[in-house]
Structure 1
């Protein structure tokens, strides 16, 4: 395998933690904007009398915008790094929050979430590059720090539902414009560091000496590995879409819980995923990236199969284990892909992370349609078998082969 090479981390092996934590906080704020959308679903379902299919289309509009546009911005930023796209993306999310708070109907909601999706698409490729440049010799840990911010932001969706949207309704979304404003200020500061970094003599030299590598073809084995990563991302994203978008309705229907009480269960699942994301990076550095990717799906499979059939008091213990195990490979897959194609960090990061959103979008629509046609229990049982598809990780090159390449 012969990977291309273009942009590289700093020649120094020191990890710049202040930038990593800053971009992680920016990631948290960005993904908090996205988390508002599923958080408001129970409110919109009642106030606008939405079907599960319409809810799926709202999730589709949000995530597909991000999915399609992330690789586009990734390619652009690989060719022309654009640090100030970071605060621009947050400004787009701010507009989306304003629209969501005052949308009078389903179609205005769709338009508003398009702005939020665009903001996410702009942020993620550049955010991944900042984390890459600040990583030094600790790429696994650095990517985990960056990704844990985003996962934590997503995990706040049930908290937003319980504390903001249940008491304040749809207009509670206006409160999140404050977070977006803070994000714009923070990411402007990070963008200045990023701008100075790409202007440094060392980075200029590396870019000039490796520009011709754009013309190199990616080895067929690398292409096959990327396809496998995409397939694995599909399995995990569809499962997450099923839990994140519809399990709260399943708890209401099957266990008789209220909207507010269901949010604890979703939060436990998501916060366990945050913890799993953080520990996945260091564990992959020690035990191998392919091994952690394999374990994250096959290790969670027996638990996901059991989940739809257990008594209510078993749901939280299972969610803790499923969330931790299944999310342990989230940052690992990104690092694995970056090492396969290190010359195209923005493209690869946008493809893998964007694809996760896109697959989740398709999953939300498909699962919503299945729920309307069959039942919520049907889609929970369907989703429970998706982690089994992770068996294809056996076909990925191990870490030794990647290092040799």
Structure 2
């Protein structure tokens, strides 16, 4: 495990996903100051998650064909620019386009960064969970940062939200040489072009598209309640339970922070008991937790249910990423792009529909509808097949053998 590289990539993940989390944190302010409807703010959630997810597979394919490490800083800087511009824009269309730009930046970041993190962490589930938790920490910090900036300075102070990306971009420039893989034995594993079919057959590492398709279906079912709860749980606290904007931000923070706990817990469970255990436990607990969000009669009950739901939803997260890459061992960037991208698009694509449902029938009805929809993915997740984790062969100092080993990854 290359701890320095993994740690630095985890920091970039925190910054990138801070901007992913900033968008839902801005929605209550947009509703109150610009008088947007539930459908309108759900449309912004689609611009962030849906557009981002549709672009992410493309960036995954590009990462498989040729190393493009520059996409990592370009991604989080673009995300920051989109969020800042959305805060400063004056009408809904401009805001939507700016949020979509932020989503594209987020999409550009994930496939190359995830492939590099898998290479730095080897076959450890805990290593991938550490990288993943960087994103959930960033998302957890976002509501507090947005509330602090916009709550005190208004949308005119949105430019202050660019500070984390600026700092990390400077660190990337300073630490760029340190992030490069050195020597023949560390030649950009998992971010090089995919190996040939003969090489794959020679190592027994063939792509299992059938199992991968089942995993994508599960993640689609995961993304719909995740994106919808993220965009509406703060409003649920304010509109249904009569709490303040700060309280709404607090429940969103608890929800996203719980995801960090769940990600680390899932990595530990995956290493100790097998990654399929983390998948099955996570989905089994998430279902009743979502029921708690829909039912919650008081604010403490909502906070507790949201925290449990956030934890449970992210227990399988690291396992799903590595499982996707092991289903498609010869196309790790594509696997990351499809599972983190196209599958996640379903959440953004369905978000406007749930926004319209909330406008017409209320938030509680919306959460109960999510609960019914979530039953199918839970059953499918429990039945997912495992695939043996790939452990790299011992590295040889000779260039030819090192290159072969890198190709096997």
Normalising by the smaller structure, the TM-score range is 0.7 to 0.9
1 CA distance for matches of 2:221 and 2:153?
35
Q: Pick from 300, 306, 329 the counterpart of residue 286 of structure 2.
A: 300
Q: Pick from 364, 371, 377 the counterpart of residue 364 of structure 2.
A: 377
Q: Do the aligned residues in 2 keep the contact of 1:84 with 1:191 (CA within 8 Å)? A: no
Cα 1:371–1:207 change in 2 (3 A) is closer
The offset of 1:209, in angstroms, is 11
Cross-structure match for 2:399 = none
Equivalent residues in 2 for 1:1-400, closer than 5 Å: 15-138=1-124, 140-189=125-174, 191-197=176-182, 200=184, 203=187, 211-213=195-197, 222-312=208-298, 313-355=300-342, 357-389=344-376, 390-399=378-387
2 CA distance for matches of 1:34 and 1:147?
14
Q: Which stretch of the first structure deviates more once superposed, 122-131 or 214-223?
A: 214-223
2 CA distance for matches of 1:374 and 1:385?
16
Q: Do the aligned residues in 1 keep the contact of 2:10 with 2:132 (CA within 8 Å)? A: yes
2 CA distance for matches of 1:219 and 1:318?
41
Q: Do the aligned residues in 1 keep the contact of 2:66 with 2:192 (CA within 8 Å)? A: no
C-alpha RMSD over aligned residues: 2.8
Q: Do the aligned residues in 1 keep the contact of 2:149 with 2:161 (CA within 8 Å)? A: no
2 CA distance for matches of 1:192 and 1:94?
24
Q: Which stretch of the first structure deviates more once superposed, 312-321 or 262-271?
A: 312-321
Q: Which stretch of the first structure deviates more once superposed, 362-371 or 207-216?
A: 207-216
Q: Do the aligned residues in 1 keep the contact of 2:84 with 2:159 (CA within 8 Å)? A: yes
The offset of 1:397, in angstroms, is 1.5
Cα 1:286–1:51 change in 2 (3 A) is same
Structure-1-length-normalised TM-score: 0.87
The offset of 1:221, in angstroms, is 8.6
2 CA distance for matches of 1:188 and 1:393?
41
2 CA distance for matches of 1:318 and 1:133?
35
Cα 1:285–1:401 change in 2 (3 A) is closer
Aligned pairs, how many? 387
Cα 1:204–1:92 change in 2 (3 A) is closer
- Larger relative contact order (CA 8 Å, sep ≥ 6): 1
The offset of 1:369, in angstroms, is 1.6
The offset of 1:387, in angstroms, is 3.7
Cα 1:124–1:209 change in 2 (3 A) is closer
1 CA distance for matches of 2:127 and 2:186?
21
TM superposition outliers: structure 1 runs of 4+ over 6 Å: 204-210, 214-221
Q: Do the aligned residues in 2 keep the contact of 1:280 with 1:329 (CA within 8 Å)? A: yes
Cross-structure match for 1:6 = none
The offset of 1:201, in angstroms, is 5.8
Encode CA deviations 1:160-219: one digit per residue, 9 max, x unaligned.
Answer: 34322222222232112111111212333564345444x736638999997322897999
Runs (5+) with no aligned partner, structure 2: 392-409
Encode CA deviations 1:274-307: one digit per residue, 9 max, x unaligned.
Answer: 1101121121122222222122112221232233
Encode CA deviations 1:314-337: one digit per residue, 9 max, x unaligned.
Answer: 222223322212210111100111
Cα 1:192–1:86 change in 2 (3 A) is farther
Structure-2-length-normalised TM-score: 0.86
Cross-structure match for 1:10 = none
Cross-structure match for 1:12 = none
